[in-house]
């Protein structure tokens, strides 16, 4: 199938992929280093992956809570806004980018999160599509390296040539991630659809936002992975 080249929208700022935000521009200038777009995209991916803690306890589905620049302001994010940040930073660096989504079965999470979500199906898992050397390449900057080490996961390396998506198994051979449905890639985050599906699938999670925000994901991970 012929690769669809990027539209002008893949370089344009939006309210959610706010590549024109001063903080996003500064982040891109600092981290988009390299001799070509591939090297710059790789550098940006690792800067987003490891520079911001993955935290699924602090989910704010408002425009303010989901936009790319909010991850910079907070110092943490979950897969959807972290993917938006990578897309925004890439656009700020002149690299066309989109946001992509899939429904996944995540076999590793904390006890608190499993109790709130009441399923191992996580809808609208976010990744980033980057236009490099004439084709789209997937990058997944969600899980920071220290979290992978805690959980015994294989970190998602990215070379700018092959898709970087979650491994089906962890280091010990246990089930980790299974992709069950692809939503595709978008020039802007489809926030209305994401919110509607979260409300349908995770009513307890959303109703318990205050409890989740008062808890520490890092502390729960440390407690449950303590050897």
- For residue 3, being part of any structural domain is answered with no
Q: Is residue 73 part of a domain?
A: yes
Average pLDDT over residues 31-50: 98
Q: Would you state the pLDDT for residue 167?
A: 75
Determine the Cα angle at 5 with ends 89 and 187, to 5°: 45
Question: What is the number of domains present in the chain?
Answer: 1
Q: Which residue has the higher pLDDT, 88 or 218?
A: 88
Q: What is the pLDDT of residue 152?
A: 84
* Alpha-carbon dihedral angle through residues 129, 132, 137, 138, given to the nearest 10 degrees: -40
- Residue 105: which domain range? 8-224
Q: Is residue 171 part of a domain?
A: yes
Can you give the CATH number for the domain in which 61 is found? 3.10.620.30
| Residue 1 belongs to some domain of the structure | no
Residues 130, 137 contacting (CB under 8 angstroms): yes
For residue 168, what pLDDT band results from cuts at 50, 70 and 90?
low
pLDDT for 189-218, tens place per residue?
999 999 999 999 999 888 877 677 678 898
Q: Is the pLDDT of residue 96 over 70?
A: yes
pLDDT for the residue 82: 98
Predicted local confidence at residue 69, as pLDDT:
98
Average pLDDT value for the chain = 91
What pLDDT, on a 0 to 100 scale, did the predictor assign at position 102? 95
Q: Is 66 inside any structural domain?
A: yes
Which tens digits make up the pLDDT trace of 115-158? 888 988 999 999 999 999 999 999 999 999 988 888 888 888 99
Tell me the Cα Rg of the chain: 17
């Amino acid at each position: 199938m012929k690769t669809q080249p990027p539209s002008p929208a893949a370089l344009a700022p939006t309210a959610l992929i706010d590549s024109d935000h001063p903080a996003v521009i500064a982040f891109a200038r600092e981290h988009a280093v390299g001799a070509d777009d591939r090297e710059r995209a790789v550098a940006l991916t690792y800067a987003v992956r490891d520079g911001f803690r993955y935290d699924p306890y602090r989910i704010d589905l408002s425009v303010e809570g989901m936009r790319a620049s909010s991850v910079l302001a907070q110092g943490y994010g979950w897969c959807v806004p972290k993917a938006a940040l990578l897309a925004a930073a890439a656009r700020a660096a002149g690299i066309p980018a989109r946001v992509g989504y899939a429904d996944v079965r995540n076999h590793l999470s904390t006890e608190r999160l499993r109790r709130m979500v009441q399923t191992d199906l996580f809808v609208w898992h976010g990744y980033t599509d980057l236009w490099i050397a004439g084709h789209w390449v997937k990058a997944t900057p969600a899980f920071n390296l220290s979290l992978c080490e805690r959980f015994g996961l294989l970190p998602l390396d990215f070379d700018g040539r092959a898709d970087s998506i979650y491994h089906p198994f962890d280091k010990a051979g246990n089930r980790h991630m299974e992709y069950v449905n692809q939503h595709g890639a978008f020039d802007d985050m489809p926030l209305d659809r994401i919110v509607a599906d979260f409300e349908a699938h995770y009513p307890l999670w959303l109703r318990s936002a205050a409890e989740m925000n008062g808890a520490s994901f890092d502390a729960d991970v440390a407690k449950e992975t303590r050897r």
